[in-house]
Structure 1
Amino acid sequence: MPKSLWLLIIGMAINVTGASFLWPLNTIYIHDYLGKSLTIAGFVLMLNSFASVIGNLLGGVLFDRIGGFKSIMFGISITLFTLFLLIFNHDWPTYVWLLILIGFGQGMVFPAMYALAGSVWPKGERRAFNAIYVAQNVGVALGSALGGFVASMSFHYIFIANAALYLIFFLISFFGYRRISNKKGVQASIIKQPKSIRNRAAFLSLVLLSCSYLLAWVIYSQWASTFSAYSQKIGIELNQYSLLWTVNGALIVLGQPLLSMVLKRFEKKLKMQMVVGFMLFILSYIVMLEAKQFSSFMTAMVIITLGEMLVWPVVPTIAHKLAPKGREGFYQGFVNSMATGGRMVGPMLGGFLADVYGMKWLMIVMIGLLFIGMGLTVIYDRVFSSEKEKEMSVSY
């Protein structure tokens, strides 16, 4: 891998480690320390996710207009400034407004990082995006583990640690990313792009792919929301449930060598890779339909983690391939915003289904949504292929 990609990987790991100090503890802080209801806490987190969606879209557009370095620094600067404010004022309602700004700033960074990874190692294709994906998971594992330890001493230290890590990320980005340039049309405005048949078809393919991605995240988000409550209800201990996520992170990081061997079979078959991933998601939910003990939860978690390892890195790879010259950032921002949207909608939809119809029907509905997502994956590129053939026939 190029040295510039290693800088992006290190930066992403530190970025997500800092973010993971805070996000798993937000509900606890709002409910236990600020004295607000769980409904209000959920609404605040939804606002944070919505701000991230806007940040994803804006970050992608800025990448295309002003370049990767400037767009990343803009997002980091907003986040870092807000985190320093959070150290000195984290009372209600200031905490809400600052959390929204943090979501917006962080949202701007992710699509630019992914788009830059694709441009600095164009020959690497999926491997570049997979490396960024692994770095994110390393950050989640480190941040979540360290965050709980720091919070046990004082919650105030969480805000200090988060700001300190973002300061390190700022310095790495400022001194390391300045020399990294995405030479393929970084200054091109998306407004000036010719609206050819191929570009319209590429965007329609992106929309279908992103809808599939959103559904996958709606289903996956149940593990951090409804399934956690369900596990407690059937007598699974909290430390056992936490172990599920430890296994999730360990599989993602340690399983990369084995995954690389498997993915050689999918070198030019990204769609098939996604379909297999969706099938594993479905299998995981079939196991969960009859899950009454910890071993079933662990089996389902291992299966869905394998599916995640196939699906999550391939979506930005396909988006990069679909993107016309000069729109790489916008395409990455679009798929990132759909993932964030899935994480935002998933807990609300799952909570409603579980409360009104019960867990069994929740899982049946989720399996149905997975089949829809798999169907969208199968057809996403058919429009692009047919329209490309039309364009070629017109040009001849």
Structure 2
Amino acid sequence: MSIWRSYPKNLKVLLIAMLVNSTGMAFLWPLHTIYMTQGMGKTLSEAGFVLMLHSGAEIVGSFLGGYLYDRIRGKRTLLLAVLSSACFIFIISIGLSWPIYILMMILLGLAIGTIFPPIYALAGVVWKDGGRKSFNLIYLVLNLGVAVGTVLGGIVAQFSFQYVFWVNGFTYLVFIFIVWFALEEPDRVIEVAKVKKEPILKPKKEVRPAQQSFNSLLILCLGFMFCWVTYIQWQTSISNYMHQLGFPLSAYSALWTINGVLILLGQPLIQWLMARMKARMKWQLLSGVLFFMATFGLLSQSHSYGGFVAGMVIMTIGEILIFPAVPAIADRLAPLDRRGMYQGLVSGAANVGRTIGPLLGGLLYDGFGPLVMLFVCILICGFALICFGTYQRLQYTQNEISPVKEVNK
């Protein structure tokens, strides 16, 4: 509790709001396919097409969220995005014809995608001295909400799918209440004044031109997209692979339980080790990609359940190293008037990876088999390794943009 009290008030508000939001979203997202196939009588391919449109709208929403943050600030953007999400969820809950349902799913994806860029942009603003700690906490809370929401969502869905929609919509309303009354966003003028006082910005050689920072961000986002293309295979192709090998659904579900437990327990430990080792975030990213590559290498050589368990453990360590670090680096790269756009690009890159990953994995799996799919994942991780190893070369300074000694002030 003493650690919790040490966090800034606005960060705590942001974490509580994010926990509520991620829990509510996790009620619904695993059940979309089941609702369309069992509740609406549609085929799996039709459901997959709608989910692809939904994911594509999230990509657009990511860029929209970043744009709105830079124009109307984070609090207003969050309220607009979450209120829109709540409206679309409640409309879907009343029961719609198929064409209207597709339209609502697209609009819902647009609204949901708009939420995350201002969340991460605000995480960097409300605790300037926290460095990467803010983003690690957001990542931890997000996964805690997913773990709780998926369990509760399955229980509620046994009574009625409509209840799932209602609970999801209610969590959005709670999110709005928390942000509206408790979040105090720093004024941009004050924020600029604070940044001008930071010693790190005084030497001219430390100032990075906006174009160089933007180019570095693009390379960073490209590597992040490659990581998501491979990570998403665990939810698509690898689940089919395990079914083909004869493992029951419960065995596959247990892997995600392991994933959630490791994130909640292991993330603070791994980040503590990174701080103790004074590891720069560039090397944290590179280490994470190597863990990803080791995962797919292991799965290509092992058909036992123990191999899949070990693979999930290794992959989760890589996830902990990569996923919170990328938005933290983007925050350091971003000029004050483009922080939202930079976080929008990061969220958009993740959504692009989540959108094209299942299609690419499915084509490789169906056309060439699981072994080729796994080897191609290793190759894609190699591209991510190149991106993470070179993004920083475009900056003037050779200093790491977020050294641990700054984070621990």
What interval of TM-score do these two structures reach, taking the shorter chain for normalisation?
over 0.9
Deviation at 1:153, TM superposition (A): 1.5
Partner residue in 2 for 1:289 = 300
Show the counterpart of 1:181. 186
| CA deviation profile, 1:136-158 (whole Å, cap 9, x unmatched) | 10111111111111111211211
1:172 paired residue number: 178
**2:357 is the counterpart of 1:352:** no
What residue in structure 2 maps to residue 392 of structure 1? none
Distance (whole Å) between structure 2 residues aligned to residue 212 and residue 23 of structure 1: 26
Superposed counterparts of 1:299-318, under 5 Å? 299-318=310-329
Match of 2:37 in 1: 31
State the shift of 1:291 in Å. Answer: 2.8
2:220 counterpart of 1:209: yes
Q: Does the CA contact (< 8 Å) of 1:266 and 1:273 recur in 2? A: no
1:230 aligns with 2:241: yes
Distance 1:121 1:214, change over 3 A: same
Separation in structure 2 between the aligned mates of residue 351 and residue 363 of structure 1, nearest angstrom: 12
Q: CA deviation at 1:197?
A: 7.9
Matched AA of 2:13: L
Distance 2:279 2:336 in 1: 21
1:36 is paired with a residue whose SS is coil
Q: CA 1:268/1:119 → structure 2, altered by over 3 Å: closer, same or farther?
A: farther
**Structure 2 CA distance for partners of 1:226 and 1:184, relative to 1, 3 Å:** farther
After the TM superposition, which residues 107-122 of structure 1 pair with which residues of structure 2 at under 5 Å, given as runs? 107-122=113-128
1:72 aligned residue (75, 78, 87): 78
Matched residue, 1:86: 92
Partner of 2:61: 55
Q: Deviations over 1:307-346 (max 9, x none)?
A: 0000000000110111112111110011000001100110
Cα distance in 2 between the residues matched to 1:140 and 1:250: 11
SS in 2 for 1:136: helix
SS in 2 for 1:35: coil
Cα separation, 2, equivalents of 1:124 and 1:358: 46
More divergent stretch after superposition (148-157 vs 126-135): 148-157
Q: CA 1:252–1:342 in 2, change beyond 3 Å: closer, same or farther?
A: same
* CA displacement, residues 86-114 of structure 1 (integer Å, 9 cap, x when unaligned): 22134422221111111111111101010
Partner residue, 2:13: 7
**Structure 2 residue 273 is matched with structure 1 residue 262:** yes
Query: What code does the residue aligned with 1:154 have?
Result: S
Distance 2:387 2:37 in 1: 39
Once the two structures are TM-superposed, the CA of residue 266 in structure 1 deviates from its matched residue by 5.5
State the match for 2:330 in structure 1. 319
Q: 1:191: which partner in 2?
A: none
1:176 and 1:103, CA in 2 relative to 1: closer, same or farther beyond 3 A? same
Deviation string for 1:52-87 (max 9, x for gaps)? 111111111111111111111111111111111122
Distance 1:253 1:386, change over 3 A: closer
Structure-1-length-normalised TM-score: 0.92
Q: CA deviation at 1:181?
A: 2.3
Distance in 2, Cα, partners of 1:354 & 1:256: 32
The 1:197/1:117 distance shift into structure 2, 3 A limit, reads closer
Q: Secondary structure at the match of 2:130?
A: coil
Shift of 1:180: 2.3
Any idea what SS the aligned residue of 1:339 has?
A: helix
Question: Cα distance, 1:268 vs. partner?
Answer: 5.6
Aligned to 2:383: 372
What is the rounded CA distance, in whole Å, between the counterparts of 1:247 and 1:268 in structure 2? Answer: 26
1:101 corresponds in structure 2 to 107
- Structure 2: unaligned runs, 5 residues or longer: 1-6, 193-206, 400-409
Q: Which position in structure 2 is the counterpart of 1:190?
A: none
For residues 42 and 186 of structure 1, the distance between their equivalents in structure 2, rounded to whole angstroms, comes to 44
TM-score, structure 2 length as denominator?
0.89
Deviation at 1:273, TM superposition (A): 0.2
Worse-matched range after superposition: 360-369 or 283-292: 283-292
**Does the 8 Å contact 1:64/1:326 carry over to 2?**
yes
The alpha-carbon deviation at position 269 of structure 1 amounts to 0.5
Deviations for 1:343-396, whole angstroms, at most 9, x for unmatched residues?
0110010000000010000001110010111011000110123799xxxxxxxx
Letter in 2 for 1:255: G
Are residues 1:147 and 2:158 paired? no
SS of the equivalent of 1:292 reads coil
Aligned with residue 252 of structure 2, among 241, 256, 264: 241
Number of aligned pairs?
Answer: 379
- Output the CA distance in 1 between the equivalents of 2:390 and 2:46: 40
Aligned-partner SS, 1:153: coil
Is contact 1:68–1:182 with CA below 8 Å preserved after alignment?
Answer: no
Once the two structures are overlaid, the 10-residue window that deviates more, 131-140 or 84-93, is 84-93
Partner of 2:405: none
* CA offset digits 1:112-133 (Å, max 9, x no partner): 0100010011111110001001
Partner of 1:298: 309
Confirm or deny: 8 A CA contact 1:17 1:140 kept in the other structure. yes
Q: CA deviation at 1:267?
A: 4.2
Q: C-alpha offsets along residues 219-268 of structure 1, whole Å, 9 cap, x if unaligned?
A: 00000001111111111111111110011011111123322321214546
1:274 is aligned to 285
SS at match of 1:15: helix
RMSD: 1.8
5+ residue gaps in structure 1?
188-195, 389-396
